[in-house]
Homo-oligomer: A and B are copies of this chain.
């Protein structure tokens, strides 16, 4: 890792807008949603730029990325350091972080005993939150 490119990363209004819009979102949003939201705001940003900005943020660990049911990527600015998992509402998209230490330890143990190296894990929990649950039935 000695020759790692420093990633110049210039400051541009578009990138700032993406970060700001991301910060305004309580929950996970897709690149498309973010792009649409920025389009209505004063500072429109191209879809391509949104994707590129999100890639950089992902690479630098500033956003968490999950996949919804269709495989679409959803992004959220990371609040706490380290690994975090979420429970997503399938209906409204609301997310809440969950205590995943059990899973972390489990994944570590699998990595240690499986003969595999560089074991990574993805955990996605989805459900229907109280607000979205139909009262009847």
Contacts and interface: CB of A to CB of B under 8 A. Distances in A.
Give the size category of A's interface with B: 20 to 34
Interface string A80-102: 00000001011000001010101
B119 A87 contact: yes
Contacts of A71: 67, 71-73
A34 B24 CA distance: 43
Contact of A127 (B98, B102, B117, B127): B117
12 contacts: A87-B119, A90-B118, A98-B114, A111-B127, A114-B127, A116-B127, A118-B127, A119-B127, A121-B125, A122-B122, A122-B126, A123-B123
Given A98-B114, A116-B129, A121-B125, 17 more contacts: A71-B73, A87-B119, A90-B118, A96-B114, A103-B103, A103-B106, A103-B123, A107-B125, A110-B125, A111-B127, A116-B130, A117-B127, A117-B128, A117-B133, A118-B128, A121-B123, A122-B122
